Structure 1
Amino acid sequence: MWKKLDRFLTRSHNTGDGSSTEPDFVGHRLRCLLPCTEPVQHSPAVDVRSKCQHFRILVIGRANAGKTTLLKKVCMSVEDPEIFDPDGKKIDPNVVEGSTDRGLHDIENQLIFRSNRQFIFHDSRGFESGSMEETNKVKDFIAQRAAASTLEKQLHAIWYCLPAGDTNRPLLKADEDFFDTDIRGKVPVIAILTKFDGLATRAFQELRDNGNSRSDSQQGKEQRAEELLTTDFIEPLKSRKVPPSDYLRLADMHKDTTDCNELMEKTAEALTDDTLRLLFVSVQQNNVDLSMKYAVRR
């Protein structure tokens, strides 16, 4: 078992140009917990990183869905990501910010955090505009990545962010269209219902408007928010032709005390390819228990 775990934990941090590496901090922490009972024998044949150096995720969602906050939490970063074009050339973030308002945001651009360069994110924006043009761009991007000849270039997972606090328009036409179209193949889609704390605030106000006391409303807001989450988001998503692979809600992601462990767990569970699952678990740095779970399972 220890040999398998060490093989799983052995990984290098690619700097983006392939010029340097550094030890994995999760792997180091785990090794400190392991007994040194037998020598480690590395096997290139089972080395996940010989097949793929990065885990590639498409992040879909409205501008107010808290995507940037989520990605910073995932990569344990306080800095914004660096932006690279499809050829790996770094892009001035000011140029990208300026182009976003003009509708020139490029889904092909790669977002990489210096704190964890093994994740590559692609950001799709503009679904809230109601235009099918952005939806079609996403469909084309997914199709092109599915046709890529190497695992490195393919899309590995989709995180679909919906702001749960926005109950005035839970699902847009573009959202419904996406989950009615079978375009993603085996790529898992995790529906991330962000800003649940905002939904709880709405639930509190609803209870107060219905004549409940402040104390009773405070006590019952979580349960009512869960009910709203189910009726306004989860049930409508489940009714689509191609529903998400899994669902989760997130709250207070701007606070230091919150984490994204559940997102890591659900993404790992949704991956059907063992190689990709091991790659994902080794890349993520948030959940040590998850690393142990899949290393031992192997």
Structure 2
Amino acid sequence: MNSDTETPSENDLSFWNNRNLEFRVLILGRANAGKTTILERLTGASMDEAEVWRDGKILPGQLIQTVKGQIDVCPKRGLHNIDDEIRFRPKPGFVFHDSRGVEAGSATELSTVQRFVEERSLTVKDLQTQLHVIWMCLPLDECRELFGSERDIFRLLKGTVPLVVIFTKQDGAVSKETSQILMDSPGNTRSRSIRKEARSKAELKVINRVKELEGELRGLGLTDNTTVFLTTGGIFIAIGVDDGMEMPTVDAEKSCQQLIDLTEECLTGPRIKTLLSVVWGHNLLKRGFWCLYW
């Protein structure tokens, strides 16, 4: 047993009873990739309720708004700091870090991400300060192909930290494809049957696009066994952030749970899996082998 003056180690049950356990996530993606929506649905709070910490201190209100405004819009250079910690009181164990929209693709931005990942890689002994997972958001309603900067990010991240690739904005992509199909169709596009058929074709096109993107990443060797893709029913389709996470519905809860489950799947080692379980609020008795391990 540790004395009162000792810091509990990760092998002690007292460590896991610590109310200040933290699971650290770096969320990446171009501007308007749906990162804000994911954070809000996962934590059950709006960005207006987020706390932003820098160097162990919470930022004053005006600066907080500046940082939060950079999550899903093109930020101004010089204002953003990847080391800033974004926290939400309803889920106090989650600590989020955000990088500038990766479509910028500058050498400076890439080196900033690289430095951050290296400093907080899984080789860091302190479980509390490690970077535990990266969530990479790829929106489906915009460019059909990966940006060069996104390829660079994948090359940079390969094998460093577990990675979840999240295809976002599925519903927006389907709506755009449906509109395009109807525009290209002769005759009466107001017919319910024609519109229904157009949407079915659009959904299939979006599903195929996700398969192509995943195949491209795997073909380029940019993924490994610590990489997972957000999937449903064994088919590579995207969680629709626009329609599955936009409102706090039962479907939104299922989407969030699926994200947590897939995050757990790509994590390496029982310590980090247990940490995610505790922070997310699972009952560890359901994970009996972890309890037995400790």
In structure 2, the residue matched to 1:256 is: 248
Instruction: Tell me by how many angstroms 1:121 deviates.
Output: 0.6
Structure 1: any 5+ residue segments left out of the alignment? 1-43
What is the CA–CA distance in structure 1 between the aligned matches of 2:65 and 2:41, rounded to whole Å? 21
User: Relative to structure 1, is the Cα distance of residues 55 and 72 closer, same or farther in structure 2, using a 3 angstrom cutoff?
Assistant: same
User: Relative to structure 1, is the Cα distance of residues 235 and 93 closer, same or farther in structure 2, using a 3 angstrom cutoff?
Assistant: farther
In structure 1, the residue matched to 2:266 is: 270
Q: TM-score, normalised on structure 2?
A: 0.75
> Residues 17-32 of structure 1 correspond to what in structure 2 (within 5 A)?
none
> Residues 119-134 of structure 1 correspond to what in structure 2 (within 5 A)?
119-134=94-109
What is the CA–CA distance in structure 2 between the aligned matches of 1:188 and 1:59, rounded to whole Å? 12
In structure 1, the residue matched to 2:234 is: none
Contact 2:136–2:165 at 8 Å: present in 1 too? yes
Deviations 1:248-295 (A, max 9, x none): 12212212222311101100111121011011012114xx6xx57952
In structure 2, the residue matched to 1:69 is: 37
> Residues 96-245 of structure 1 correspond to what in structure 2 (within 5 A)?
96-98=64-66, 100-146=75-121, 148-168=124-144, 170-181=145-156, 184-185=159-160, 187-211=161-185, 213-231=194-212, 233-243=213-223, 245=227
Answer yes or no: is 1:84 the counterpart of 2:53.
yes
- Secondary structure in 2 matching 1:181: helix
- Secondary structure in 2 matching 1:180: helix
Contact 1:126–1:134 at 8 Å: present in 2 too? no
- Secondary structure in 2 matching 1:125: coil
Contact 2:174–2:199 at 8 Å: present in 1 too? no
Answer yes or no: is 1:280 the counterpart of 2:276.
yes
In structure 2, the residue matched to 1:53 is: 21
What is the CA–CA distance in structure 2 between the aligned matches of 1:254 and 1:129, rounded to whole Å? 26
Deviations 1:212-260 (A, max 9, x none): 83231123332221012222x2222222333260111221221222231
Contact 1:74–1:284 at 8 Å: present in 2 too? no
Structure 2: any 5+ residue segments left out of the alignment? 1-10, 68-74, 187-193, 231-237
What is the CA–CA distance in structure 1 between the aligned matches of 2:90 and 2:157, rounded to whole Å? 34
User: Relative to structure 1, is the Cα distance of residues 55 and 210 closer, same or farther in structure 2, using a 3 angstrom cutoff?
Assistant: same
Contact 1:96–1:105 at 8 Å: present in 2 too? no
What is the CA–CA distance in structure 2 between the aligned matches of 1:93 and 1:62, rounded to whole Å? 25
- Secondary structure in 2 matching 1:133: helix
Contact 2:28–2:101 at 8 Å: present in 1 too? no
Root mean square deviation of aligned Cα: 2.6
Give the total of aligned pairs: 248
What is the CA–CA distance in structure 2 between the aligned matches of 1:224 and 1:293, rounded to whole Å? 43
Identity of aligned residues (%): 29
Q: TM-score, normalised on structure 1?
A: 0.74
Contact 2:51–2:64 at 8 Å: present in 1 too? no
User: Relative to structure 1, is the Cα distance of residues 261 and 182 closer, same or farther in structure 2, using a 3 angstrom cutoff?
Assistant: closer
- Secondary structure in 2 matching 1:111: strand
